[in-house]
Structure 1
Amino acid sequence: MSSQRSISSFFAPVGRTTSTSKSSSSSASKPGSSKPVHNPKATGSTSKALPKTTAPSKTKAKAKATSKHDDSENEAEGGEVEEEKEDEDEDDLPTSRSFSKRLRAFSVQSGGRPLGTDSAAPAPKRVRLERRRVDDDEEEEAQMGEPIQEDQEDEPEEPLPHKLSHAPPKRSGKGIITDRFAFSSSQLADGSVHEEEAISPEEALRRKKNHEKFVRKLGRPGAFELRQRENGEEGDEELDDEEEEPERVPEPKKGSKAAAKRGKKLTPLEQQVVDIKEKHMDTVLVVEVGYKYRFFGEDARIAASVLSIVCIPGRMKFTYDPSEAHLDKFASASIPVHRLHVHVKRLITAGYKVGVVRQLETAALKAAGDNRNAPFVRKLTNLYTKGTYIDDIDGVDDHDAVGAGSGGAASTGYLLCITEKLGGGAGADEKVKVGILAVQPSTGDIIYDEFDDGFMRTEIETRLLHIAPCELLILGELSKATDKLVTHLAGSTNNVFGDGVRVERVERPKNMNATSSIHVSGFYADKIKNGEADVPQDLLDIVTQLPDLVTICLSAMITHLTAYGLEHVFDLTKYFKSFSARSHMLLNGNTLSSLEIYRNQTDFSEKGSLFWTLDHTSTRFGRRLLRKWVGRPLLDRPQLEARINAVEEMLSSTSERTQQLKTLLTTVRYDLEKGLIRIYYGKATRPEVFNILNTLLKISKTFRSVETPDQCGYVSPLINGAMASLPEILESVEEYLSKFDHKAAAKDDKYSFFKETDEYDFILDSKMAIKGVELDLQEHLEDAAKAVKKKRLDYVTVSGIDYLVEIENSGIKNVPASWVKISGTKKVSRFHTPEVLRLLRERDQRKETLANNCDRAFKDFMIQIAGQYQEYRDAVQSLATLDCLVSLATVAQLPGYCKPILTDGIGIKVKQGRHPMVEQLLIDTYVPNDIDLGAGQRRTLLVTGPNMGGKSSYVRQIALIAIMAQIGSYVPADSAEIGLLDAVFTRMGAFDNMMTGESTFMVELSETSDILKQATPRSLVILDELGRGTSTHDGVAIAYSVLDYMVSSIKAMTLFVTHYPILAQMEKAYPGEVVNAHMKFEEATDGSEDITFLYQIAEGTAHRSYGLNVAKLANVPQAVLDTAAIKSKELEAEIKARETARWFANILQGNINTEDGLLSEISSLSIS
């Protein structure tokens, strides 16, 4: 049966492959094919008559014999006419024939002369499979594993219809377009068909050139897939960044129940995402798809908002919503693979929980597996939050998590679990017992505590401000007061943590009190049994003897961190430390805030804080250790003196070892503390392992001549001990470094990482298998040469595609039909033989196996290094200690700093002391002042003076000097003698607490109450303007009674700042113990009542506060000032009149010697 092809099939759009293109050549040469009827009046190719059809009458062999012609006009592909062009190295595009080629081919098939040439139609040549682009339906079939069928040479053709079809283009069973309109035709009145004029050769040439430009821009057919296969990357199933999924099942008809329930049909990729999302609804999923990571649905909207990337509109919800029924796909956004961790850090810094979904198989292994037709297997491999992100050696940098805080520090990377139980009291939640456990996964540090707290929750606040967690895990229900405090500290942008702390709440089972200890014991028992943890018995006792609430927190934290793969942090029980171990001075939340220990109170930045003043460290781990020193001043005198003496020796030392140490610290760029924990978790990369070990080698080699502490050359045992511990790791570090190639490690070359002598057997086996495949490829060249009748062939590599067999076009007749043409030029064609394709697939599979084996071997290597974690961590801790000592020695070099003298007595005596932060920020010279407080004598200093006279700065200065001394630092003074303090308490400033609904006065009294309960004779208490939150008489009464209680009962050293002159009477009530002092000033002598602040402390009382002068400095309108001055004088006169009347009344009653001191002092109160 013979048939005639439709004319329209020859004019299909350029770049689209038709199902009958392969058979067109053969049909053109068959006898009996129809011939076009030419109009003898027509010139050129302006018009053609409709071709007539005739029945086939001649054999195929005869057709071939009569149709042979010059082969130079045809390529090897089915008689396709070769394009005449310059000899340049471009891929052939046999499937993208130009319009003129199709027109000439049609003319040849029809038995006529090809347009533009006098040669006859050439005979069809052998059919050869060729890589080509397929349309959407063919891609879907490839995804489902169905082969793409092509018409064979002997396939019968469809008969040519008598008239051109007006119907829409048809599709074959495979979805390939077989008919296209070439002309727009219309029926004439007599039923004949009128055809438009044919396209001129000039127009055809123009279209051909445009097509060639388009192809060059789009890419060569098959080259992209081949390069993917060569690189072991995604195959045909995922092109660019999106996986090609099978065609969606048609949507149910509108109004049907099925449509109402499920909406649009999901693709396999979308179904994977939905299945994972259902298990992690609180997580922003980042899904690996081909060469990008993608966000879907609501996650895409979040990513677009935080990362400032484009979000493609679509469905937002992962469950069916009728409002989104008209949308076909999920909303999506994408990021490049190499930028994954950059964007993940930004998301977790914004407070989100991020999950990374990765492909667990590669294209090569998938092609060799049983699921080659299924979507790529994907699983949630990583979960990240602020507190658990350690997949980058820099982690979430402290500055990334900096928040505005009233005393709190930047987020420290701690993940804190908190739980509580009610402890009774007048209210339902007045007293509670609280348990906390804070973990820093990036360093392995663990802090725990169990304590009782009152209704103000000051103990919880103190611990939160000290630890400064970046993430909170709330276990069970908290009391109302605790929950409000935690929520406030975690969520405020102007308090403590700034950018907010991520809060996660988990349920606390009722039987957790009983099950938690079993869970924790079982966890460590399994570790010891499996030999996974270094848990000596004395350290294991720490865990088994933890308080009940802390054990509950530990159990919850083990479960929580297991999901992140970080449960191994609890193997390091050496770093369990109790917060309440009173080896340090207590600085509560109020003190941290008021004294600006970590943050200033102006813009809540680090600049201007005490930590900023003392921080001259060179390493990140040294900076973290100094932060601990600043927040926890020492109470142990021998330990404190050892630290100060070490700073003194480091300051005065000019030895070569000191210079070596300072040079070493400046060259340590890596965060060794975080790097070691990443090795311990098995998450480090090859360059990281190399850099960490290389840095440890540099550290240990610097002091390799030191064998014992006595050989260090210092007097300080602290310096000698720290320096002598550094060379101890040298031998093990050199051993690990000798096992791998350093250049390969720096380049992250997994295949050449290990040296041949230390390489694992399974890696050698994989490499040998690949070599075997490559030898087979070389041997196959002989067979390939014989097939094309050549003596010798060589492989060539073009555009990244290797093992190509290059054949000159003059000998292309000898190329077997089974060879796959990849590319070519005018002179040569390049092929892959079936055997080469098979061997390349085998090689790709072997390479994937080798890559997996290399990763496995590297993880085993990190496990070996992790066995030395404690030893290496101790060395890093010693270097951090030396870094802190050098930092404090740098502070000691500042002009006007002195070494404090520490005593066992109670007292503070400072000569010419200065404020450490204000002094560095001021352009002008800071005015120094003295202080002398001691046990038994001068325990309380009552400070008065004009507003803005420097009272608050003076009392802060005294507290900061005492804290600096107990940190181990030099202090800004001519001389300082400090008795060790157990705590510093402050009640400064006036503010309300909207979070708990407390007024300004309530906050004042609550904080004062806590101080009265906790202060001891060894404490320093600062009370600034107590009582100003209420009326004058109530304020005076409360201030007087509190001061009296402090002096008579608690006997703590107290600095009491007030504007109530009446309190000066306390000096008479407690002579020698209470001393009045005021900030000096000078009044103008011209009657203007202007004053000049001198900022110097002097004994005596200031009877006026000069508030109107401050109002004038604040640019209060003059009219207001005038009115205030008049009212001030009227009130003064009224009070004096009442005093005079009262005095005369006493005289008339005979009480001449009676003096109402309290009333006389009240009369001296001045509003001005």
Structure 2
Amino acid sequence: MTTYTPMIQQYLQIKAQHEDAFLFFRLGDFYELFFNDAVEAAHILEITLTSRDAGSRDRIPMCGVPYHSAEGYIESLIEKGHKVAICEQTEDPKAAKGIVKREVVKIVTPGTMTEGKTIDANSNHFIGAADSIDSSHYALAYLDLATGEGKVECIEGSERTLISEIEALGMREVVVCENLHITLSDSLAKRGIVLSIEHRKETYEAEELFTEIPATVVDTCELLLSYVKRTQKSALDHIKPFEFVQKQSKLSIDANSMRNLELIQSIRTGGKDGTLYGLLDETVTAMGARKLKMWIHQPLAEKGAIEKRLGTVSALIDDYFLRDELQTNLRDVYDIERLAGRISMGSANGRDLAQLRNSLRSVPTIKTALESSDQPLLSQFAKRIDPCEQALQLLENAIAENPPLSVKEGGVMKDGFDAKLDQYRDASKNGKAWLTELEREERERTGIKSLKIGYNRIFGYFIEITKSNIHLADLERYERKQTLANAERYITPELKEKEDLILNAEAEGLALEYVLFTSVREEMREHIRHLQQLASVLSELDVLLTFAHVSEKRNYVKPSFHEGKALLIKNGRHPVVEKMMDHSLYVPNSCKLKEEANMLLITGPNMSGKSTYMRQVALTVVMAQIGCYVPCDEAMLPITDQIFTRIGAADDLASGQSTFMMEMMESQNAIVNATERSLLLFDEIGRGTSTYDGMALAQAMMEHIHHEIGANTLFSTHYHELTNLDNELPRLENVHVAAMEQDGKVVFLHKVMAGAADKSYGIYVAELAGLPSELLDRAKDLLTTFENAHAVQLPESEPEQMTFFDLQKEEPESVSKEEEAILDQIATMDVLNMTPLKALQTVFELKEKLDSKKG
């Protein structure tokens, strides 16, 4: 049996309790890693792998990182989906008997990391917990450890619906019980989400965290808090009561729709440029940026709440000078939410408290400005602002104006806050000046001009008098300390006291300052709830000011809402596209969905703007329901409960799904979960399969939505045969995006007009893409050939329900069996999904067959 040294045995005992994490084991000024941890970490971090004697026959692998720079290495491991257990020395090595005591003081995980370069201050960093309630419902709780913001929701549907919400919230880590781990592990791992098992559910005495949520989801919140408490090993007083996200009060947008509409993240760049969030984000605080992002993710679905936000935005638009004053003062407000979190977890430094103090200094001005408004909504807003005067007073008294980053450097506490600290500082800074002054005073008192004050390491400070002047010394005050050949050295009680102060001033001062700072930080914990409430109100104000600023700058209008389903957007504009181009060149388009006709079938050429038009309608709905003005001349809208989109084509490589499978899965999600209050956007359904399959699926979906769901729907298609469905579906109307042929060229008008389009102009789009002219000419010939070879006509007597099984074929007049076989092959070709090059290749193959038969 292998015998290791006591230190390695200690390491192995601690490692056995944290097998799923890299163990950073503190040895002096380094964190060391051993065995497999060392091998893996050295590879990931690109650091030297070495070895050491561990008492066994063979040396063991080892690598290490300096203590002072460990944060960067830890962050690298977390970014790659790993966990890191920080093991510290918990006693002074000098006082230790035997092996120094060590224990894990914190486990850093992808979901609990609160600091670092990869943590975006303008985004929430949620860790989640999921559990099944019954066979068709899941509870999903999520917490931003940095801000203390916790929410929980009940998700109805399949695991795919649950995973979609986890993705939409941007979670890096999800905590589950063991039974759910089996079913979710593969799906989440493919998406780069860490799945952690928590075996214990602690029952929390802090019942105030669960007062606003149903009993069915409390266990999931406790599961999450149990994991966070176990890994962080610190106070979590800043965690707010969990908010229950009620489905009926929010506009639900799944992850695919969030992505397709580019609400938060650009499909092309992955950043915020080109998104609705990027367009609207003119907030001046990090708290406001996070709140804006959350509002976009979870728009309102209650008419009264929406109109209250819109009313506040209107009041701010009407008072430019107030708006400017408020934004100017908000610029001086730091991230109060995260500062409160650092205070609670004991990680706040002097600069954090100074930032909090500076933020609180701006609050009274903001409150007074709102109170002075003659707009009731703004004066009421002022009543919600608590200036936190006691917290501000404590910080004003205690914290220096410009403290250093590290408490250990000193200079954090304000002069005058503590008399003893002032003495230490005075002794440290003015010690030499004091000694010079004491030397002058003693010379005057004794009349000995040669008297001097000196210092050595053995005796410390002393008064030195030559033997010829000893008779002048005040021997009642002087105590002999050392005798020299020509002089005597003395000390006085006053000099002894000052010696202790001077020699120990810096060390003692720093130690006292740290105690005083931690005491102030601890006292600030009493104000955390008030600070969080203040942060919530100020962040809301920041977002509403942003809405007012952007709406006025971009000539948006205030939308109105009604209880019906009709939707009217007059001369609407896609807000992001409009921003990227000259406003005067943008072609606005109206959208009118009636109570009796709330489905639009959109046809038109490629690149004409069908997808942009559909997205524009959805973005208008989202903007209105977050409480912002909208880009159009007039908007009368229903309250929408869900938005589902099937726009764009991209394989989901992470989950191994093809484009067509993704299209069908997204369509299924909409068909199963949509209600009559939802908004559905379907773009080119059926492209990834054969023509007849695609048309059949598209028609069946339209019929199902029309008959069974009744939702407001925009459905674009290249299947022009579907435009006849308006005869069968009373609530369906045709519109098209217009194009005009001029001088042999096609001009896209980007204007949506009533009726169906007559052409798709696909070959012209290929010409714009720069394909060779000879290829394009051949494609035009092929198109004529295909159209003549297999024209599709509707039956003369229309059946009660239109079906593609009744489509008639024109019979060729007189052809051979070989020619008939070639015509049948042409008839079954998926022309609309055939590239020009493939079409050209096909024609050559068919021509060779015909030539070979003739030969």
**Shift, 1:624, TM fit:** 0.6
Q: d(CA) in 1 for partners of 2:514 and 2:798?
A: 100
Query: 1:687 offset after TM fit, Å?
Result: 2.7
Q: Tell me which of 147, 150, 155 is aligned to 1:443.
A: 147
Equivalent residue number for residue 541 of structure 1: 211
1:487 aligns with 2:146: no
Moved more, 963-972 or 731-740: 731-740
CA distance in 2 between counterparts of 1:1155 and 1:355 reads 66
Provide the rounded CA distance (Å) in 1 between the counterparts of 2:524 and 2:384: 18
CA pair 651-306 structure 1, distance change in 2 beyond 3 A: farther
Pairwise mapping of residues 495-514 of structure 1 onto structure 2 (< 5 A)?
A: 501=193, 503-506=194-197, 508=199
Matches for 1:253-332 after TM superposition, within 5 Å: 261-262=2-3, 276-286=14-24, 292-297=29-34, 311-315=47-51, 322=58, 324=59, 330-332=62-64
1:645 aligns with 2:287: no
Q: What is the CA-CA distance between 1:417 and the residue it aligns to?
A: 1.6
- What's the TM-score, normalizing by structure 2? 0.78
CA contact (8 A) 1:797 1:804 kept: yes
Residues 634 and 967, structure 1, Cα contact 8 Å, conserved in 2:
yes
Amino acid at match of 2:341: I
Q: Is the 8 A contact 1:458 1:589 kept in 2?
A: no
Judged with a 3 Å threshold, the aligned counterparts in structure 2 of structure 1 residues 1001 and 859 are, in CA distance, closer, same or farther, namely same
Aligned-partner SS, 1:897: coil
Larger radius of gyration: 1
1:554 aligns with 222
Task: Tell me if 1:461 matches 2:144.
Answer: no
Q: 1:699 aligns with which of 351, 363, 384?
A: 363
CA distance in 1, matches of 2:660, 2:76: 41
| Alpha-carbon contact 2:316-2:323 (below 8 Å) kept | yes
DSSP-derived class of the 1:551 partner: helix
Give the Cα–Cα distance (whole angstroms) in 1 for the partners of residues 499 and 351 of structure 2.
31
Name the counterpart of 1:620: 286
Deviation at 1:1063, TM superposition (A): 1.2
In the alignment, what sits opposite 1:667?
Answer: 332
Q: Distance in 2 between matches of 1:951 and 1:1006?
A: 22
Determine if the alignment matches structure 1 residue 1081 to structure 2 residue 739: yes
Between the aligned partners of 1:760 and 1:437, the Cα distance in structure 2 is: 49
Deviation at 1:592, TM superposition (A): 0.5
Aligned to 1:587: 253
The equivalent position to 1:568 in structure 2, one of 236, 241, 254, is 236
Structure 1 Cα separation of the partners of residues 604 and 101 of structure 2: 76
Q: Give the Å deviation of 1:872.
A: 1.7
Amino acid at match of 1:665: L
Indicate conservation of the 8 Å contact 2:110/2:173, yes or no.
yes
1:496 matched residue in structure 2? none
Counterpart code for 2:675: T
Change (3 A) 1:743 1:974: closer
Q: Report the Cα distance in structure 2 between the residues aligned to 1:1105 and 1:466, rounded to whole angstroms.
A: 35
Q: Distance in 2 between matches of 1:726 and 1:1155?
A: 62
Partner of 1:334: 66
Query: CA–CA distance in 1 between the matches of 2:453 and 2:15?
Result: 52
Q: Please say if 1:932 is aligned against 2:592.
A: yes
**Where in structure 1 are there 5+ consecutive unaligned residues?**
1-256, 400-409, 424-431, 492-500, 525-534, 782-790, 808-818, 820-835
Q: Which structure has the highest helix share of the two?
A: 2
Q: Is the 8 A contact 1:437 1:554 kept in 2?
A: no
Counterpart-to-counterpart distance in 2, 1:1156 and 1:623: 51
Give the conservation status (yes or no) of the 8 Å contact 1:286–1:356.
yes
Which residue in 2 is equivalent to 1:397? 119
Query: How much does 1:621 deviate?
Result: 0.5
Structure 1 distance, partners of 2:560, 2:623, is: 12
Partner of 2:130: 418
- CA deviation profile, 1:661-689 (whole Å, cap 9, x unmatched): 12112223x21110011112222112322
Task: Please tell me whether the aligned partners of residues 173 and 196 of structure 2 are also in contact (alpha carbons under 8 angstroms).
Answer: no
Deviations 1:1036-1066 (Å, cap 9, x if unpaired)? 2221122122223322111110111121112
Change over 3 Å in CA distance of 1:1078–1:714 after alignment to 2: same
Task: Indicate conservation of the 8 Å contact 1:608/1:917, yes or no.
Answer: yes
Q: Pick closer, same or farther for the CA change 1:599–1:317 going to 2, 3 Å.
A: farther
Q: Tell me: CA distance 1:285–1:853, structure 2 relative to 1, closer, same or farther (3 Å).
A: farther
- 2:447 corresponds in structure 1 to none
Shift of 1:905: 2.5
2:388 to 729, 733, 753: 729
TM-score by length of 1: 0.59
Give the counterpart of 2:203 among 493, 515, 520: 520
The answer to whether the Cα contact below 8 Å between 1:420 and 1:435 also exists between their aligned partners in 2 is yes
5 Å matches for 1:5-24?
none
Counterpart secondary structure, 2:635? strand
Q: 1:318 to 1:552 in 2, by over 3 A?
A: farther
Instruction: State the partner residue of 1:884.
Output: 543
CA contact (8 A) 1:316 1:331 kept: no
| Structure 1 stretch displaced more, 674-683 or 730-739 | 730-739
Alignment identity in percent? 24
Tell me, yes or no, if the aligned pair for 2:123 and 2:293 is still in contact at 8 Å: no
Q: 1:600 to 1:716 in 2, by over 3 A?
A: farther
- Count of residues in Structure 1 that have an aligned counterpart in Structure 2: 769
Where 1:985 maps in the other structure, the secondary structure is: strand
CA distance in 1, matches of 2:533, 2:501: 49
Q: What's the offset of the Cα at 1:739? A: 4.4
Residue 941 in 1 paired to residue 609 in 2? no
Q: 2:78 aligns with which of 348, 361, 365?
A: 348
In 2, distance between residues paired with 1:419 and 1:856?
43
- Superposed, 1:859-898 pairs within 5 Å as 859-898=518-557
Determine if contact 2:567/2:592 at 8 Å carries over to the other structure.
yes
* 1:694 Cα offset (Å): 2.9
Match status 1:1052 vs 2:790: no
Change in CA separation of 1:764 and 1:997 when aligned onto 2, cut-off 3 Å: closer
Q: 1:690 aligns with which of 354, 360, 369?
A: 354
CA contact (8 A) 1:750 1:855 kept: no
Which residue of 2 is the match for residue 89 of structure 1?
Answer: none
Shift of 1:868: 1.6
Quote the Cα distance in structure 1 between the aligned partners of 2:642 and 2:134: 28
Q: Is the 8 A contact 2:558 2:628 kept in 1?
A: yes
Give 2:345's aligned residue: 681
Query: How has the CA–CA distance of structure 1 residues 873 and 940 changed in structure 2, closer, same or farther, with 3 Å as cutoff?
Result: same
1:1007 aligns with 2:666: yes
- The aligned counterpart of 1:979 is 638
Q: Which residue of structure 2 lines up, in the alignment, with residue 1095 of structure 1?
A: 750
The code of the aligned residue for 1:1102 comes to A
Q: Which runs of 5+ in 2 are unaligned?
A: 440-449, 465-481, 483-494, 811-826, 835-855
2-structure distance, mates of 1:757, 1:916: 56
- Report the CA distance shift for 1:383/1:803 in structure 2 as closer, same or farther (over 3 A): farther
Distance change >3 Å, CA 317–CA 1055, structure 1 → 2 = farther
Q: Which structure 2 residues correspond to residues 1078-1157 of structure 1 after superposition, within 5 A?
A: 1078-1086=736-744, 1090-1117=745-772, 1120-1136=775-791
Corresponding residue for residue 850 of structure 2: none
The answer as to whether partners of 1:412 and 1:469 remain within 8 angstroms in 2 is no
Distance in 2 (CA, whole Å) between partners of 1:281 and 1:319 is 23
SS at match of 1:867: helix
The answer to whether residue 300 in structure 2 is matched with residue 596 in structure 1 is no
- How many Å separate the matches in 1 of 2:178 and 2:699? 44
CA contact (8 A) 1:304 1:333 kept: no
- 1:405 matched residue in structure 2: none
Q: What secondary structure does 1:887 align onto?
A: helix
1:639 positional shift = 1.7
When residues 1156 and 963 of structure 1 are mapped into structure 2, their CA distance, relative to the original with a 3 A threshold, is closer
CA distance in structure 2 between the aligned counterparts of 1:1155 and 1:1023, rounded to whole angstroms: 22
Distance in 2, matches of 1:340 and 1:930, equals 57
Rate the CA distance shift 1:1135–1:318 in 2: closer, same or farther, 3 A.
farther
Specify the SS of the correspondent of 1:972.
Answer: coil
**Aligned amino acid, residue 638 of structure 2:** G
1:952-995 deviation per Cα after TM superposition (whole angstroms, max 9, x unaligned): 11111111111111111121212222222112111223445555
Task: Judge conservation of contact 1:1078–1:1100 (CA < 8 Å) in 2.
Answer: yes
Q: Name which of structure 1's ranges 618-627 and 734-743 shifts more when overlaid on structure 2.
A: 734-743
SS in structure 2 at match of 1:910: strand
